[in-house]
Amino acid sequence: MREIQITGQGIRLGQLLKLAGVVDSGSDVKLLLAHEAVLVNGEQESRRGRQLSLGDTVLVNGEELRLVPAPPA
């Protein structure tokens, strides 16, 4: 499992996939969600605008990502 650090309490699924380096752009997110199974907390998700919160997990391309808080600046 790879931990992805975010500032604030949440992030959208498309933003997370870009931040994690899974995709390069928003259009890539749309294609990925249309053709690959992406699971959020164990449930299939196809909306790139899905709001995620700290502690959520995303399974994509066989890799599990978990949202954790970024250290204070």
Instruction: Please give the model's pTM, rounded to 2 decimal places.
Output: 0.92
More confident residue, 29 or 26: 29
Tens of pLDDT, residue by residue over 28-65, are 999 999 999 999 999 999 999 999 999 999 999 999 99
Q: 9 lies in which domain range?
A: 2-68
d(CA 20, CA 49): 16
Residue 11, beta-bridge partner list:
52
Residue 53 inside a domain? The answer is yes
Residue 73 inside a domain? The answer is no
The two structure tokens encoding residue 68: 């954790």
Tens of pLDDT, residue by residue over 6-22, are 999 999 999 999 999 99
Give how many domains the chain has, as a whole number.
Answer: 1
Q: What is the CATH number of the domain that holds 16?
A: 3.10.290.10
Residue 67, beta-bridge partner list:
4
